[in-house]
Amino acid sequence: MPDSIYHEGFSFLTPDERLNFDEIERVARATAELGVTRLRLTGGEPLLRPNLSELVERLVRIPGIEDIALTTSGMLLERQAAALHAAGLHRVTVSLDSLDPAVFARMSGGRGDLRTVLDGIGAARALGFPRGVKVNTVVQRDVNDAGVPELLAHFRHTDVIVRLIEYMDVGNRNGWERSDVVTSREMMTRINALWPLDPVSPAYRGEVATRYRYADGGGEIGFISSVSAPFCGNCSRARLSSDGQFFTCLFATKGTDLRAVLRDAGHAGEDEPLRQTLANIWHRRTDRYSEERQERRSRAEAVHEDKAGKKIEMHYIGG
């Protein structure tokens, strides 16, 4: 979120423009009735939403929902971890790209504090969330790739699982170039030379991370390979923005307005129109952006920013 755009005078969403907790819960219940079993609260930064633990408490009570996760920068985690744990949150993922303070500052846009993030991870570990704590690290060539072994060493022999994510062309502002990508295969070769790895079976169908464990018992690591090994055909994820837009792909250029469906006076309190809308969207989806990117590359075509339309920004719908 560059300062040149999101400055002190920028007009963010008003409370009325955002979905309230009742509306979020209605969408979650409708998706659960259609077969969804896993929910994730992400951002932007979800811990900026007041009383987020109240929403967690509501979501864990929905029949059919088996897993509630949270993705956060970690800056507010230490002060909110206890309330989230008490509310029933199952697991926490913290975005952390480097243990080098200068690199951390560069990749976080000069915001945040490394020590605060590490303290947040420590607080979450101490509380013992039922399904643990993960760290997501986006690896960018000549930016933070040299520091990945230090980060992995920090979390080895702990219960924290680090997942290394290929640098993706999300949104329209990150200046993505294919040459900046360190593929999972390359990263795995580097790591395997330090600590041999053994493959681990997926925990569930559609899991995006390819899992490995350290042969010496040092824990688990994952690789997310959206660029070099796209998994569009096996993707079962959808995303709901804070203002009620429903997206079926991280690289989408437009979504469907569920806020209007939720607030339609003609169907006040009725969720069948919502369920029908969600089912129709899902059955019609044709998203395969990452596979198409790979196909363009195999044909030696340009793989720069998609010219067909402006993609939604990562800070708008998260990962």
Residue 303 banded pLDDT, cuts 50, 70, 90: very low
- Residue 316's nearest CA partner among 208, 259, 240 is 240
Angle at 11 between CA 6 and CA 13, to 5 degrees: 105
Residues 240/24, Cβ–Cβ less than 8 Å: yes
- Residue 232 pLDDT exceeds 60: yes
Task: Return the residue matching tokens 């980060």.
Answer: 151
Which parts of 222-300 fold into alpha helices (H)?
Answer: 258-262, 272-284, 289-298
* pTM for the whole structure: 0.88
Q: Which residues contact 151 (CB under 8 A, 6 or more apart)?
A: 96, 98, 99, 135, 137, 162
Distance, CA of 221 to CA of 225 (rounded, Å):
13
- pLDDT tens-place string over residues 12-61: 888 899 999 999 999 999 999 999 999 999 988 999 999 999 999 999 99
Helix axes 272-284, 21-33, angle to 10 degrees: 60
HSE value, Cβ hemisphere, 13 Å, CA-based, for 160:
26
CB distance 60 to 84 below 8 Å: no
Q: Which residue has the higher pLDDT, 313 or 94?
A: 94
What pLDDT shows up at residue 285?
Answer: 83
Higher pLDDT residue, 266 or 202? 202
Residue type, 259: R
